[in-house]
Amino acid sequence: MVHHLGTKSAPIKNSLYSYGEGYLGTLGHGNYSSVEAPKALDAFDGLDLVQASTGWSHTGVVDAHGKAYVFGRTHHFKNVIRAINMHRFAPWFLDFANKVGGHRSVEAFTPVEVTLPEKVVEVACGTTLSLFRTESGSLYANGGNYYGQCGVGHENASVWEAEVVKLPPVQQVAAGYQHVLALTTEGQVYSWGKGERGQLG
């Protein structure tokens, strides 16, 4: 999976650019097409963007007003792998299957706002996981959860609506392949998710 993001600042607005392989809707341009050179995402025109994070097949973005946006395929790691293989051998079928089947794992091919009770100051994206840190230090998560990487107390295949992660106030969060690290305002580090290679410390 190869995709890239970049930001460009100007006195009036910021622009978000993406390029690379787009067959999972990862680039946010509303289609499966790949893009060889950076292309601006029109959906963010006029917005003051402050941060972006990329997962395997999706992206999260935060603006200066505390709104969070996501685009791409945000759930079901296994479906992402299937889609990658499907695209390689029958690229036309992936588009057809999503139109006919309406698979819930395909969240958005253009940016959509994430509804949360507080303003968001940071987003971190993992393989098929999104975490949102709010201005009060609360942490919310949704996405693939096969190994409990959402940190919400259960291991359902997916967490569709963002749920709160029960932690002390968080000042920084990082998402890995299928695990998460969070640094609290008191200087403690918490880890959760898949740990078979010692990645949880």
pLDDT of 89-99, one tens digit each?
444 444 544 44
pLDDT reported for residue 189: 98
Q: How far is CA 47 from CA 7, 9, 13, 16, 44, in A?
A: 12, 11, 6, 10, 5
pLDDT of residue 198: 87
Confidence of residue 72 (pLDDT cuts 50, 70, 90): confident
Sole residue written with tokens 């392949």? 177
With cut-offs at 50, 70 and 90, classify the pLDDT of residue 75: low
For the question of whether the overall pTM of this predicted structure is more than 0.85, the answer is no
Q: What is the pLDDT at residue 104?
A: 45
Assess whether pLDDT exceeds 60 at residue 102. no
Dihedral angle computed from the Cα positions of residues 64, 69, 75 and 81, in that order, rounded to the nearest 10 degrees: -90
| pLDDT for the residue 184 | 98
Spatial neighbors of 96 by CB under 8 A, at least 6 apart, are: none
Average confidence score pLDDT of the chain:
82
**175 phi, psi to nearest 5 deg:** -115, 130
Structure tokens at 124: 């971190």
Residue 127 pLDDT exceeds 50: yes
The predicted structure's pLDDT at residue 3: 57
Ordered by where they begin, the domains of the chain are 1-114 (no CATH), 119-201 (2.40.10)
Q: Which two tokens stand for residue 107?
A: 């969240």
Q: Which helix (H) or strand (E) holds 83?
A: helix 77-89
How much is the pLDDT for 175? 96
pLDDT at 156 over 60: yes
Rg (Cα) of the chain, in Å, rounded?
17
The arithmetic mean of pLDDT across residues 147-157, rounded, is 87
